[in-house]
Structure 1
Amino acid sequence: MNVLRMAYPALALTLLLFLMLVMAGAWVAQRATRNSGWVDVFWTFGTGIAGAVGALVPLGTAPPARRLLVAALVLVWAGRLGGYILRRTAAIRHEDARYARFRAEWGAGFERRMFLLLMIQAAVAWLLALAVTLAASNPYPLAPGLTLAGLAVFAGSVAGEGLADRQMHAFRADPANRGKVCARGLWAWSRHPNYFFEILVWLAYPLIGLAGPWWPGLAGLAAPLFMYWLLAKISGVPPLEREMLASRGDAYRDYQARVSPIVPWPPRRRG
């Protein structure tokens, strides 16, 4: 028991140091390319690897099936999302609007402040990786109902986010849509359907981790709430919608007035 009490903090510290190194690598990459889109690539793959490692380290008596399942799911998530961001970043020649604004506003202090921002992102990734690790650590056998629910949430979330990404990619690839607002498919029901499914995917892990009277598993339910707060209030919707209002003006204001911000919902009628 004493060994385990020492091992869990050691694992958590190791994951944090790993993610700090990953994001330091992201800082080097964005500095070399002057394209901060690489930050999101490093973050996604780093979070997935850290979560999988945390799930697979054989501490305690968690069933191997749970550890393997949780690790596999977080790697699938990272592979799908990270691969999409990687292809998008490699294909474009302009910097993500969020980071371009930081570069303009921070001036000569950009690189220093960017490094600090990436260390904060490392801490965010660490908290999510710990949620995955926690879900894999339940010593009780898998609960069939909750496991199936978790798998259904995961599959629906990954498929939904992938569909939203493909719809937006197709819209942007058409030159006729330059300067327009995408209000097709899932984007007709949510201004940020990709964020909705990204939030939802983090509910899958704690569902799989809930079984028996193991109350620490309930802490994993904070992960989707944390992701909602992050995307809806801090780093997702606010900066992106500021940029969209600046570039699309009244067309985007009309879109905001009619369409739900995150949760897909039938749009309001005009007038």
Structure 2
Amino acid sequence: MSLPAVIGLAWAGAAVAMAAGWLWQRRRANAGIVDVIWAAGVGGSALLYALLVDAAAWPRATLALLGGLWGLRLAWHLWLRVRNEDEDGRYRHLRTHWQGHQGAFFLFFQAQALLVVVFSLPFLAVARNPVDGFTGWWLAAVAVWLASVAGEGIADRQLARFRADPANRGRTCRAGLWRYSRHPNYFFEWTHWFTYVLLAVGSPIAWLAWAGPLVMYAFLRWISGVPYTEAQALRTRGEDYRHYQRTTPMLIPWFPRDAVPDDPLQTVTADSPDSPDASRKDPE
């Protein structure tokens, strides 16, 4: 099957799934399902391209396994949140902004179907790779995938534990990886996309694999990731989150900075939940 036909099939499947998701959110007033469908759609596109694009078997099998497992893990994690929690604050904000207009939500869902295609482009580069068998690039790709997916999974679990404790309502998670980055889940999600850059080495369209980390960084840093998440955090956590912003790196993990001298939250006691020695359960 030609590449345009395969891409068109991926888009059609995503568009139908997003239309079903729009109907689901209309009945339940929870637009968080769009994230579940996006993750499943991108992961599903890895399987689709591995099956339908004609090139070496080894990179296609690797793509199906790594891309499929990544999408399955992320979609399941997001589904548990959608199923068990109220609508995410970002989508409640959109619902208020659009005054519940379902036409706006439908267009939003269909825009996410297009983004499924955009984020599937690195998979095409891998699927077209004629280099078969084990290589140093393949081993490096698997190492990056393992580290990134494990890191994102750890960050997600730490955040889920924190959110599950009612005592943490209105407060900011600073436990585990969240001590070193305000968005460690986003960081590992971003580094995960370098997997396909490495797997695509030798492909005639290897350059296309760079769409993954470049586009993902742009979305996380400036469009739909950090800006929306932090705006919601400031609305719900106020000064606690401002303190977190002043002391903790935004994306790339590093050691936290000292609080500024006039910071009203800089002093904590050993018994305070904000103390480094305090026992915490782990979101944002």
- Tell me which residue corresponds to 1:37: 32
Alignment of 1:160 onto 2:155: no
The superposition leaves residues 142-171 of structure 1 with CA deviations (integer Å, 9 ceiling, x where unpaired) of 461110110011001110000000000111
CA distance in 2, matches of 1:128, 1:142: 25
SS at match of 2:130: coil
CA distance in 2, matches of 1:134, 1:226: 15
CA distance in 2, matches of 1:215, 1:49: 23
Alignment of 1:230 onto 2:222: no
- Tell me which residue corresponds to 1:14: 9
Q: What amino acid is aligned across from residue 67 of structure 1 in structure 2? A: R
Instruction: Give the structure with the higher percent helix.
Output: 1
Of 21, 25, 47, the residue aligned with 1:26 is 21
- Tell me which residue corresponds to 2:91: 99
SS at match of 2:234: helix
Matched residues, percent identical? 39
Between 1:63-72 and 1:130-139, the stretch displaced more is 130-139
Q: What amino acid is aligned across from residue 97 of structure 1 in structure 2? A: G
Alignment of 1:204 onto 2:230: no
Alignment of 1:65 onto 2:58: yes
Alignment of 1:84 onto 2:77: yes
CA distance in 2, matches of 1:119, 1:215: 31
Report the CA distance shift for 1:246/1:58 in structure 2 as closer, same or farther (over 3 A). closer
Q: What amino acid is aligned across from residue 22 of structure 1 in structure 2? A: A
Of 244, 248, 256, the residue aligned with 1:259 is 248
Q: What amino acid is aligned across from residue 27 of structure 1 in structure 2? A: W
The superposition leaves residues 46-94 of structure 1 with CA deviations (integer Å, 9 ceiling, x where unpaired) of 11112210122142xx2111101111111110111111111111111x2
Alignment of 1:150 onto 2:141: yes
Runs (5+) with no aligned partner, structure 1: none
CA distance in 1, matches of 2:127, 2:104: 35
What's the CA shift for 1:215? 4.5
SS at match of 1:181: coil
Could you state the TM-score of these two structures normalised by the residue count of structure 2?
0.88
| Preserved contact between residue 138 and residue 210 of structure 1 (Cα < 8 Å) | yes
What's the CA shift for 1:202? 1.0
SS at match of 2:193: helix
| Preserved contact between residue 202 and residue 224 of structure 1 (Cα < 8 Å) | yes
| Preserved contact between residue 57 and residue 132 of structure 2 (Cα < 8 Å) | no
Of 113, 117, 127, the residue aligned with 1:122 is 113
SS at match of 1:249: helix
Structure 1 moving runs of 4+ over 3 Å: none
What's the CA shift for 1:141? 2.6
Could you state the TM-score of these two structures normalised by the residue count of structure 1?
0.92
CA distance in 1, matches of 2:233, 2:190: 22
Q: What amino acid is aligned across from residue 71 of structure 1 in structure 2? A: A
Of 143, 162, 171, the residue aligned with 1:171 is 162
SS at match of 1:21: helix
Alignment of 1:180 onto 2:180: no
Runs (5+) with no aligned partner, structure 2: 261-284
CA distance in 1, matches of 2:134, 2:249: 35
| Preserved contact between residue 53 and residue 127 of structure 2 (Cα < 8 Å) | no
CA distance in 2, matches of 1:233, 1:58: 33
